[in-house]
Amino acid sequence: MIDNYGRKINYLRVSVTDLCNLRCAYCMPAEGIRKKDHCDILNFEEIENIVRAAVLLGIDKVRITGGEPLVRNGIVQLVESIARIKGLKDLSITTNGIFLKKYARDLKRAGLHRVNISLDSLDKTKYKKITHCGELDDVLEGIIIAEEAGFSPVKINVVLMGGYNDDEIEDFVSLTLKRDIEVRFIELMPLGEAKNWPLGSFISNDTVLSKVPKLVPLPFMGHGTVARMYKLPNARGRIGLISPLSCHFCNYCNRVRVTSDGKLKPCLHSDQEIDLKNVHPDELKRLLYQGIRAKPTKHRLNTQPCSMVKRNMNEIGG
Ligand code: SAM
Ligand code: SF4
Protein backbone atom coordinates (compact mmCIF):
# COMPACT_ATOMS: atom_id res chain seq x y z
CA MET A 1 0.00 0.00 0.00
CA ILE A 2 1.16 3.55 -0.73
CA ASP A 3 1.12 6.09 2.12
CA ASN A 4 0.29 9.80 1.97
CA TYR A 5 3.83 10.65 0.87
CA GLY A 6 4.07 8.14 -1.97
CA ARG A 7 6.08 5.56 -0.03
CA LYS A 8 5.29 1.89 -0.58
CA ILE A 9 4.66 0.32 2.84
CA ASN A 10 5.29 -3.43 2.69
CA TYR A 11 7.08 -4.18 5.97
CA LEU A 12 5.58 -4.94 9.39
CA ARG A 13 7.60 -5.40 12.56
CA VAL A 14 5.76 -7.21 15.34
CA SER A 15 6.99 -7.18 18.91
CA VAL A 16 5.83 -10.41 20.58
CA THR A 17 6.97 -9.55 24.12
CA ASP A 18 8.47 -6.62 25.98
CA LEU A 19 10.38 -8.97 28.31
CA CYS A 20 14.03 -9.82 27.82
CA ASN A 21 16.70 -12.03 29.31
CA LEU A 22 19.27 -9.21 28.93
CA ARG A 23 19.44 -5.63 30.17
CA CYS A 24 21.32 -3.75 27.45
CA ALA A 25 22.26 -0.44 29.05
CA TYR A 26 20.74 1.68 26.25
CA CYS A 27 17.50 -0.29 26.00
CA MET A 28 16.22 -1.77 29.28
CA PRO A 29 16.18 -0.37 32.82
CA ALA A 30 18.80 -2.26 34.87
CA GLU A 31 16.15 -3.38 37.36
CA GLY A 32 14.02 -4.87 34.56
CA ILE A 33 10.37 -4.07 33.89
CA ARG A 34 7.04 -5.03 35.41
CA LYS A 35 5.61 -8.10 33.74
CA LYS A 36 2.34 -7.23 32.00
CA ASP A 37 -0.75 -9.36 32.60
CA HIS A 38 -1.21 -12.11 30.07
CA CYS A 39 -4.43 -10.51 28.88
CA ASP A 40 -2.64 -7.23 28.06
CA ILE A 41 -0.27 -8.89 25.58
CA LEU A 42 -1.35 -9.90 22.07
CA ASN A 43 -2.13 -13.61 21.97
CA PHE A 44 -1.01 -15.75 19.03
CA GLU A 45 -4.40 -15.63 17.34
CA GLU A 46 -4.43 -11.83 17.51
CA ILE A 47 -0.90 -11.62 16.10
CA GLU A 48 -1.82 -13.94 13.22
CA ASN A 49 -4.98 -11.94 12.50
CA ILE A 50 -3.00 -8.70 12.41
CA VAL A 51 -0.43 -10.17 10.01
CA ARG A 52 -3.20 -11.61 7.81
CA ALA A 53 -4.93 -8.21 7.60
CA ALA A 54 -1.60 -6.49 6.89
CA VAL A 55 -0.84 -8.91 4.07
CA LEU A 56 -4.21 -7.99 2.50
CA LEU A 57 -2.94 -4.38 2.44
CA GLY A 58 0.28 -5.31 0.65
CA ILE A 59 2.63 -6.16 3.53
CA ASP A 60 4.86 -8.99 2.30
CA LYS A 61 7.72 -8.72 4.79
CA VAL A 62 7.33 -9.40 8.53
CA ARG A 63 9.96 -9.22 11.28
CA ILE A 64 9.35 -10.72 14.71
CA THR A 65 11.04 -8.79 17.48
CA GLY A 66 10.70 -7.82 21.14
CA GLY A 67 11.94 -7.52 23.96
CA GLU A 68 13.56 -10.82 23.26
CA PRO A 69 11.26 -12.83 20.97
CA LEU A 70 12.87 -16.14 21.91
CA VAL A 71 11.70 -15.80 25.53
CA ARG A 72 8.06 -15.88 24.40
CA ASN A 73 6.60 -19.33 25.10
CA GLY A 74 5.58 -21.11 21.91
CA ILE A 75 7.65 -18.85 19.61
CA VAL A 76 8.38 -21.68 17.16
CA GLN A 77 4.68 -22.46 16.86
CA LEU A 78 3.93 -18.76 16.26
CA VAL A 79 6.57 -18.56 13.53
CA GLU A 80 5.14 -21.68 11.91
CA SER A 81 1.64 -20.25 11.73
CA ILE A 82 2.79 -16.84 10.43
CA ALA A 83 5.02 -18.52 7.83
CA ARG A 84 1.92 -20.29 6.44
CA ILE A 85 0.11 -17.02 5.68
CA LYS A 86 -0.28 -16.77 1.91
CA GLY A 87 1.24 -13.66 0.34
CA LEU A 88 4.04 -13.33 2.89
CA LYS A 89 7.41 -13.43 1.11
CA ASP A 90 9.90 -12.72 3.88
CA LEU A 91 9.73 -13.69 7.55
CA SER A 92 12.61 -12.76 9.83
CA ILE A 93 13.45 -12.37 13.50
CA THR A 94 15.67 -9.99 15.48
CA THR A 95 17.18 -11.64 18.55
CA ASN A 96 20.01 -11.18 21.01
CA GLY A 97 21.05 -14.69 19.97
CA ILE A 98 21.44 -16.19 23.46
CA PHE A 99 18.79 -18.86 22.83
CA LEU A 100 19.58 -19.50 19.18
CA LYS A 101 21.51 -22.66 19.97
CA LYS A 102 18.25 -24.03 21.36
CA TYR A 103 15.89 -22.70 18.68
CA ALA A 104 17.71 -21.99 15.38
CA ARG A 105 17.04 -25.37 13.76
CA ASP A 106 13.38 -25.49 14.82
CA LEU A 107 12.86 -21.92 13.60
CA LYS A 108 14.30 -22.84 10.21
CA ARG A 109 12.01 -25.87 9.99
CA ALA A 110 9.07 -23.68 11.02
CA GLY A 111 9.60 -21.50 7.93
CA LEU A 112 11.66 -18.56 9.23
CA HIS A 113 13.74 -17.08 6.40
CA ARG A 114 16.24 -14.78 8.08
CA VAL A 115 17.86 -13.96 11.42
CA ASN A 116 19.39 -10.70 12.70
CA ILE A 117 21.49 -11.07 15.83
CA SER A 118 22.31 -8.12 18.07
CA LEU A 119 25.88 -8.16 19.34
CA ASP A 120 27.53 -4.99 20.59
CA SER A 121 30.92 -6.29 21.70
CA LEU A 122 33.31 -9.14 20.87
CA ASP A 123 34.98 -8.81 24.26
CA LYS A 124 33.51 -10.99 27.04
CA THR A 125 33.90 -8.40 29.79
CA LYS A 126 32.51 -5.55 27.73
CA TYR A 127 29.64 -7.70 26.45
CA LYS A 128 28.66 -8.46 30.03
CA LYS A 129 28.98 -4.79 30.97
CA ILE A 130 26.72 -3.66 28.11
CA THR A 131 24.12 -6.41 28.59
CA HIS A 132 24.51 -6.64 32.41
CA CYS A 133 24.13 -10.42 32.41
CA GLY A 134 24.87 -11.88 28.94
CA GLU A 135 27.56 -14.43 28.11
CA LEU A 136 29.33 -13.65 24.84
CA ASP A 137 30.05 -17.34 24.15
CA ASP A 138 26.32 -18.13 24.06
CA VAL A 139 25.80 -15.60 21.25
CA LEU A 140 28.89 -16.68 19.28
CA GLU A 141 27.68 -20.30 19.48
CA GLY A 142 24.19 -19.17 18.48
CA ILE A 143 25.58 -17.45 15.37
CA ILE A 144 27.39 -20.63 14.29
CA ILE A 145 24.32 -22.79 14.86
CA ALA A 146 22.16 -20.31 12.94
CA GLU A 147 24.59 -20.50 10.01
CA GLU A 148 24.59 -24.30 10.19
CA ALA A 149 20.78 -24.31 10.26
CA GLY A 150 20.82 -22.53 6.90
CA PHE A 151 20.24 -18.90 7.83
CA SER A 152 22.65 -17.35 5.42
CA PRO A 153 23.82 -14.67 5.48
CA VAL A 154 23.32 -14.09 9.20
CA LYS A 155 23.13 -10.37 9.95
CA ILE A 156 24.81 -8.99 13.05
CA ASN A 157 23.47 -5.70 14.44
CA VAL A 158 26.01 -3.57 16.28
CA VAL A 159 24.79 -0.41 18.01
CA LEU A 160 27.77 1.94 18.06
CA MET A 161 28.32 3.73 21.35
CA GLY A 162 31.05 6.31 21.75
CA GLY A 163 33.42 5.26 24.54
CA TYR A 164 31.86 1.77 24.73
CA ASN A 165 32.53 -0.17 21.54
CA ASP A 166 33.86 2.28 18.93
CA ASP A 167 37.33 0.76 19.50
CA GLU A 168 35.97 -2.57 18.14
CA ILE A 169 34.88 -1.36 14.71
CA GLU A 170 37.84 -3.00 12.93
CA ASP A 171 37.25 -6.31 14.78
CA PHE A 172 33.60 -6.39 13.69
CA VAL A 173 34.53 -5.52 10.11
CA SER A 174 37.11 -8.35 10.11
CA LEU A 175 34.35 -10.87 10.86
CA THR A 176 33.21 -10.44 7.25
CA LEU A 177 36.56 -11.40 5.74
CA LYS A 178 36.11 -15.18 5.79
CA ARG A 179 32.43 -15.62 6.66
CA ASP A 180 29.29 -14.81 4.72
CA ILE A 181 28.07 -12.48 7.46
CA GLU A 182 26.56 -9.02 7.18
CA VAL A 183 27.68 -6.71 9.99
CA ARG A 184 25.33 -3.74 10.32
CA PHE A 185 26.47 -0.75 12.35
CA ILE A 186 23.49 1.13 13.77
CA GLU A 187 23.68 4.64 15.17
CA LEU A 188 22.54 4.84 18.78
CA MET A 189 19.25 6.73 18.97
CA PRO A 190 18.24 8.93 21.93
CA LEU A 191 15.37 6.63 22.87
CA GLY A 192 14.49 4.73 26.02
CA GLU A 193 17.39 4.36 28.43
CA ALA A 194 19.71 6.19 26.00
CA LYS A 195 17.51 9.29 26.09
CA ASN A 196 19.72 11.11 28.57
CA TRP A 197 23.09 9.66 27.63
CA PRO A 198 25.95 12.13 27.10
CA LEU A 199 26.32 13.53 23.60
CA GLY A 200 29.65 11.70 23.13
CA SER A 201 27.81 8.35 23.12
CA PHE A 202 26.05 9.26 19.87
CA ILE A 203 28.57 8.80 17.12
CA SER A 204 28.02 9.01 13.41
CA ASN A 205 28.44 5.93 11.24
CA ASP A 206 31.01 7.95 9.29
CA THR A 207 33.37 6.84 12.10
CA VAL A 208 33.27 3.37 10.52
CA LEU A 209 34.38 4.76 7.17
CA SER A 210 37.16 6.81 8.70
CA LYS A 211 38.44 3.86 10.78
CA VAL A 212 38.22 1.42 7.84
CA PRO A 213 38.93 3.49 4.70
CA LYS A 214 39.39 0.28 2.67
CA LEU A 215 35.61 -0.28 2.63
CA VAL A 216 34.24 -0.17 -0.90
CA PRO A 217 30.67 1.12 -1.42
CA LEU A 218 28.18 -1.27 -3.05
CA PRO A 219 25.32 -0.17 -5.31
CA PHE A 220 22.23 1.26 -3.56
CA MET A 221 19.58 -1.45 -3.28
CA GLY A 222 16.58 0.85 -3.67
CA HIS A 223 13.20 1.09 -2.01
CA GLY A 224 13.00 0.07 1.64
CA THR A 225 16.75 -0.14 2.03
CA VAL A 226 17.83 1.73 5.11
CA ALA A 227 21.43 0.42 5.08
CA ARG A 228 24.24 1.83 2.93
CA MET A 229 26.24 -1.24 1.94
CA TYR A 230 30.04 -1.68 1.80
CA LYS A 231 32.54 -4.49 1.45
CA LEU A 232 36.20 -5.11 2.22
CA PRO A 233 38.07 -6.07 -0.95
CA ASN A 234 37.98 -9.90 -1.28
CA ALA A 235 35.75 -10.32 1.78
CA ARG A 236 32.95 -12.91 1.76
CA GLY A 237 30.60 -10.82 3.87
CA ARG A 238 29.37 -7.23 3.77
CA ILE A 239 29.05 -4.18 5.98
CA GLY A 240 25.85 -2.16 6.37
CA LEU A 241 25.62 1.33 7.83
CA ILE A 242 22.24 2.24 9.29
CA SER A 243 22.28 5.90 10.15
CA PRO A 244 18.95 7.20 11.49
CA LEU A 245 20.64 10.30 12.93
CA SER A 246 23.30 11.37 10.46
CA CYS A 247 21.48 10.35 7.30
CA HIS A 248 17.71 10.75 7.13
CA PHE A 249 16.19 7.69 5.45
CA CYS A 250 12.54 8.55 6.15
CA ASN A 251 11.99 9.02 2.39
CA TYR A 252 12.68 5.31 1.96
CA CYS A 253 10.79 4.16 5.06
CA ASN A 254 8.60 1.18 4.19
CA ARG A 255 7.55 -0.03 7.64
CA VAL A 256 5.05 0.13 10.45
CA ARG A 257 5.29 -1.51 13.88
CA VAL A 258 3.01 -3.29 16.32
CA THR A 259 3.95 -3.36 20.01
CA SER A 260 3.51 -6.46 22.17
CA ASP A 261 0.43 -4.90 23.78
CA GLY A 262 -1.15 -4.39 20.38
CA LYS A 263 -0.49 -0.75 19.50
CA LEU A 264 0.15 0.05 15.86
CA LYS A 265 2.96 2.61 15.59
CA PRO A 266 3.15 4.28 12.18
CA CYS A 267 6.58 5.76 13.09
CA LEU A 268 9.22 4.64 15.61
CA HIS A 269 9.85 8.22 16.68
CA SER A 270 6.30 9.29 17.32
CA ASP A 271 3.92 8.54 20.19
CA GLN A 272 1.01 8.23 17.78
CA GLU A 273 -0.58 4.77 18.31
CA ILE A 274 -3.68 2.89 17.18
CA ASP A 275 -4.98 0.13 19.42
CA LEU A 276 -5.35 -3.24 17.68
CA LYS A 277 -5.91 -5.32 20.83
CA ASN A 278 -9.37 -6.84 21.32
CA VAL A 279 -10.38 -5.61 17.89
CA HIS A 280 -12.60 -7.83 15.74
CA PRO A 281 -10.56 -9.33 12.85
CA ASP A 282 -12.86 -7.62 10.31
CA GLU A 283 -11.87 -4.21 11.72
CA LEU A 284 -8.11 -4.78 11.59
CA LYS A 285 -7.65 -4.01 7.91
CA ARG A 286 -9.37 -0.62 8.28
CA LEU A 287 -7.28 0.32 11.34
CA LEU A 288 -4.03 -0.75 9.66
CA TYR A 289 -4.99 1.30 6.60
CA GLN A 290 -5.65 4.30 8.85
CA GLY A 291 -2.26 3.80 10.57
CA ILE A 292 -0.35 3.59 7.30
CA ARG A 293 -2.06 6.74 6.02
CA ALA A 294 -1.06 8.45 9.28
CA LYS A 295 2.68 7.86 8.82
CA PRO A 296 4.49 11.19 9.29
CA THR A 297 6.73 12.45 6.50
CA LYS A 298 9.87 12.28 8.67
CA HIS A 299 11.17 12.10 12.23
CA ARG A 300 12.85 15.03 14.02
CA LEU A 301 15.58 13.17 15.90
CA ASN A 302 18.29 15.25 14.30
CA THR A 303 16.75 18.57 15.30
CA GLN A 304 15.54 17.55 18.78
CA PRO A 305 18.53 16.03 20.56
CA CYS A 306 16.40 14.30 23.18
CA SER A 307 13.62 12.11 21.84
CA MET A 308 10.23 12.63 23.46
CA VAL A 309 9.01 9.13 22.60
CA LYS A 310 7.59 7.63 25.80
CA ARG A 311 8.10 3.93 25.12
CA ASN A 312 11.42 2.12 25.53
CA MET A 313 12.85 0.12 22.63
CA ASN A 314 12.13 -3.20 24.36
CA GLU A 315 8.42 -2.31 24.05
CA ILE A 316 8.54 -1.06 20.47
CA GLY A 317 10.89 -3.67 19.08
CA GLY A 318 13.57 -1.56 17.41
N1 SAM B 1 16.08 -8.38 21.85
C2 SAM B 1 16.27 -8.39 20.47
C3 SAM B 1 17.63 -7.85 20.10
O4 SAM B 1 18.27 -7.25 20.93
O5 SAM B 1 18.00 -8.07 18.94
C6 SAM B 1 15.18 -7.65 19.69
C7 SAM B 1 14.68 -6.36 20.25
S8 SAM B 1 15.85 -5.03 20.30
C9 SAM B 1 14.86 -3.72 20.96
C10 SAM B 1 15.98 -4.64 18.56
C11 SAM B 1 17.16 -3.81 18.15
O12 SAM B 1 17.02 -2.50 18.65
C13 SAM B 1 18.51 -4.33 18.68
O14 SAM B 1 19.40 -4.49 17.60
C15 SAM B 1 18.96 -3.21 19.59
O16 SAM B 1 20.36 -3.12 19.63
C17 SAM B 1 18.30 -2.00 18.96
N18 SAM B 1 18.17 -0.86 19.87
C19 SAM B 1 17.62 -0.81 21.08
N20 SAM B 1 17.69 0.44 21.60
C21 SAM B 1 18.31 1.21 20.68
C22 SAM B 1 18.69 2.59 20.59
N23 SAM B 1 18.44 3.44 21.59
N24 SAM B 1 19.30 3.02 19.48
C25 SAM B 1 19.58 2.17 18.45
N26 SAM B 1 19.22 0.87 18.45
C27 SAM B 1 18.62 0.39 19.55
FE1 SF4 C 1 16.91 -7.06 25.34
FE2 SF4 C 1 17.29 -6.55 22.78
FE3 SF4 C 1 16.82 -4.54 24.50
FE4 SF4 C 1 19.11 -5.84 24.64
S5 SF4 C 1 18.38 -4.61 22.91
S6 SF4 C 1 17.76 -5.34 26.38
S7 SF4 C 1 18.53 -7.86 24.07
S8 SF4 C 1 15.40 -6.13 23.96
pLDDT in tens, 142-160: 999 999 999 989 999 999 9
Residue closest via CA to ligand 2's atom 4 equals 24
Task: Determine the residue of 21, 313, 316 to mutate for testing ligand 2's pocket, defined as the one with the most ligand atoms within 8 A of the Cβ atom.
Answer: 313
Per-residue pLDDT of 244-272, as tens digits, reads 887 677 888 899 999 999 999 988 878 88
Which among 81, 85, 97, 1 is positioned nearest to 290, based on CA atoms? 1
Amino acid (one-letter) located at 217: P
Whether pLDDT at 20 is above 70: yes
Domain regions of the chain by residue span: 11-316
Condensed to tens digits (0 to 9), the pLDDT of residues 293-313 reads 888 877 666 545 445 567 778
Residue nearest to atom 18 of ligand 1 (CA): 318
Domain spanning 11-316, CATH class: alpha beta
Ligand 1-lining residues (CB < 6 angstroms): 20, 26-27, 65-66, 68, 94-96, 118, 157, 159, 186, 188-189, 191-192, 194, 313-314, 317-318
Whole-number Å distance between alpha carbons of 53 and 68: 24
Q: Mean pLDDT for the chain?
A: 92
Residue 300, classed as helix, strand or coil, is coil
Q: Identify the weakest region by mean pLDDT among 44-53, 107-116, 196-205, 297-306.
A: 297-306
The total of other beta-carbon atoms located within 10 Å of residue 256's CB is: 27
Residue 224 confidence (pLDDT): 62
Tell me, what amino acid is at 249? F
Distance CA 258, CA 12 (A): 8
Closest-lying ligand to the alpha carbon of 67? 2
